Structure 1
């Protein structure tokens, strides 16, 4: 199968979520992703999971989620000989990516200037929490911390409760999309001019950019949103926009003509609220009145009635329920690949469809150093030098049989 990026090679020094998701997206499009990891330990995400559960008894679902379509090269980055080996690879790669704190890669000899001297056409992307300068430069750039700092948590949840972080790594994932945007833009520029360049992205900028709708309102009116005390779905919205109970769960109702919603619910007393300012000022009261009516319906009956009236609505589903959603099944979004240690792993497949060069899952997430010697040989590193690196403990080649034995 032809892939759009199958002529692009990426040296990926990133870890955790932001960088690995970005390189997974590039890998889905065919880019050759070489994941640089620490011998013996690898990406920190390999050691982290939810509820102490491990896929196949050994593998982190957090790591598996963001590291398919990659090969792993385990090498000690601090040794001079390792650095020279990385420089040899850099002569023939297109992109270098990392998300270490500012200054770390430069101190190790892996900054943009180091790589551009070796390969002037190289594209070098650094991803950080707050940028590479300023009063927060040494702070940890973690997703929940950025949600708090940028106003997202303060705008989420009920007004009579605490700020609520989004239930996924939202900042990291938005940052990953900015990385991909920057890299693809730089690749296009290099195609036109032959010039490489340095790209810098950060979570602070990314998360503010993706709240631009809210920020434009707040900045231009000099006023904060106030969170409702009910399940209205956005601090700037009026009723009925929100989540409502039914007999067997919850449904969401978005922007819809209020009178038409009242007609479906069958209680004309609600029409006393049918005024734009009232629907905002008294939105908690309106929500409670609507919720009293929706609670009389089953989910199916209410959704059927609302959809028949062309009212924007939908189910509230758990993650397990989403797996079996008919539209999710129809789109083939849940896919399975075979992992060397964990066995069959269910994942969410690529989200972008392309007629000529469709993204695909061609490799499972790698084990630490699973492809070390294979990668070095491909880049012309002599067998004797590979042996020397291995004997000195500077590189690691994964033992799949040993890993499977541990799982058993």
Structure 2
């Protein structure tokens, strides 16, 4: 079956880096036609940025490839008058606009919600920012690490006698992307009922606060200043034995589990004196240290086998390199691969949402800068001579 749930939706994607591109990739995986607008020659910022070694001697960024599959690239100088005229020409055929520039940037260029919705009242216009559209932080840079610090997430992670620890992935940006998708799909549903478009606004700070609802619920309502435990439990409301434990050859995690069962498996009956709800919370650092003395005597696999057999909630700590070999990951087929014209086979994480009748698909790899400039615009009804004139003026770039 070739049909997909969003294959009748066209998205004009002004976004860059992670938040916006991840959101539009998720929609593209479900069939949406995403036209990514990029700067001529250099393309968007993630093409030049990488936390990893590049492929092909520095020409391909894993960061960019990770978030931009299933899209077409149109390289357009958005500051040129002719570019604005072109966008105004095609906007009546666009369903959704996505952008994550700082507030006010696209408005000054003539691509804000007011200008574009006047040309297409059914348009859904989704903006992502760091801190919203106004307020004391509106001019601050809205980057993932900064948001993790400001919202308390970093301060709640790691050991209490060490520095705050941010997560090992762009969590604020990825939560923001999910909120974009949530908002866009909600707005599409409303448009199907009402015929009306609307503006969707998402910001990283609000998103990360919302995803710490249970932690903030405890702190805001119980009137307690929860201190980050030395044991690194990193959760303001969890009792022992919740945490990470060292073994002879690695680490395991233990979540909410009957304490009496755990100490029986570990052979630590003397720790029964702690088996009281208030004690398990108040003395969780001490308890963690005592339990660790026992877990360090086990091999990881043997400890997991014993704990799982007893119904203890536990698991391994795995590196990214180990994840590919994980039997559940393999069973779910969450690591896939596809052909990239410059690199060859690229291993990637598969779509995480499964639909029985209109499944997500990886149809095309991340595009080259301006790879689809002429064809994408022609498909939207722009005259070929107009496209040729824009290329000749340098406003539009078509990759060779």
TM over 0.5: yes
TM class by smaller structure: over 0.9
Counterpart of 1:224 in structure 2 is 225
Aligned equivalents of 1:232, 1:22: Cα separation in 2:
31
Q: CA deviation at 1:342?
A: 2.3
The unaligned stretches of length 5 or more in structure 2 are none
Q: Is residue 348 from structure 1 mapped to residue 332 from structure 2 by the alignment?
A: no
C-alpha contact (below 8 Å) 1:45/1:60 kept by paired residues: yes
Alignment of 1:112-127 (within 5 A): 112-127=113-128
CA shift digits 1:49-78 (9 cap, x unpaired):
114x11343211111111111110000011
Q: CA deviation at 1:234?
A: 2.1
Three-state SS of the structure 1 residue aligned to 2:93 is: coil
C-alpha contact (below 8 Å) 1:231/1:244 kept by paired residues: no
Aligned equivalents of 1:392, 1:6: Cα separation in 2:
33
Q: CA deviation at 1:147?
A: 0.5
Query: Does 222-231 or 190-199 show the bigger shift?
Result: 222-231
Query: Does 26-35 or 211-220 show the bigger shift?
Result: 211-220
Q: CA deviation at 1:236?
A: 2.5
Q: CA deviation at 1:140?
A: 0.4
Counterpart of 1:55 in structure 2 is 55
CA-atom RMSD in angstroms: 1.0
Aligned equivalents of 2:236, 2:162: Cα separation in 1:
13
Q: CA deviation at 1:222?
A: 2.7
Q: CA deviation at 1:177?
A: 0.6
Three-state SS of the structure 2 residue aligned to 1:218 is: helix
Alignment of 1:91-240 (within 5 A): 91-240=92-241
Q: CA deviation at 1:233?
A: 4.5
Aligned equivalents of 1:233, 1:152: Cα separation in 2:
9
Counterpart of 2:334 in structure 1 is 333
Three-state SS of the structure 2 residue aligned to 1:355 is: coil
Counterpart of 1:381 in structure 2 is 382
Per the normalisation by structure 1, the TM-score is 0.96
Aligned equivalents of 1:290, 1:20: Cα separation in 2:
44
C-alpha contact (below 8 Å) 1:155/1:225 kept by paired residues: no
C-alpha contact (below 8 Å) 2:159/2:234 kept by paired residues: no
Aligned equivalents of 1:117, 1:189: Cα separation in 2:
19
Q: CA deviation at 1:3?
A: 0.5
Aligned equivalents of 2:303, 2:234: Cα separation in 1:
19
C-alpha contact (below 8 Å) 1:125/1:201 kept by paired residues: yes
Alignment of 1:11-30 (within 5 A): 11-30=12-31
CA shift digits 1:211-263 (9 cap, x unpaired):
11111111112332211112325233121100001111000011000000011
Aligned equivalents of 1:369, 1:224: Cα separation in 2:
53
Counterpart of 2:248 in structure 1 is 247
Counterpart of 1:404 in structure 2 is none
Counterpart of 1:398 in structure 2 is 399
Ranges of 4+ aligned residues in structure 1 off by more than 6 Å:
none
Three-state SS of the structure 1 residue aligned to 2:244 is: strand
Three-state SS of the structure 2 residue aligned to 1:91 is: helix
C-alpha contact (below 8 Å) 1:6/1:30 kept by paired residues: yes
C-alpha contact (below 8 Å) 1:14/1:99 kept by paired residues: yes
Counterpart of 1:403 in structure 2 is none
C-alpha contact (below 8 Å) 2:99/2:126 kept by paired residues: yes
Aligned equivalents of 2:342, 2:44: Cα separation in 1:
17
Aligned equivalents of 2:162, 2:302: Cα separation in 1:
32
Aligned equivalents of 2:112, 2:214: Cα separation in 1:
35
Alignment of 1:253-268 (within 5 A): 253-268=254-269
Aligned equivalents of 2:244, 2:234: Cα separation in 1:
7
C-alpha contact (below 8 Å) 1:56/1:343 kept by paired residues: no
In the comparison of the two structures, how many residue pairs are matched? 398
Per the normalisation by structure 2, the TM-score is 0.98
Three-state SS of the structure 2 residue aligned to 1:42 is: coil
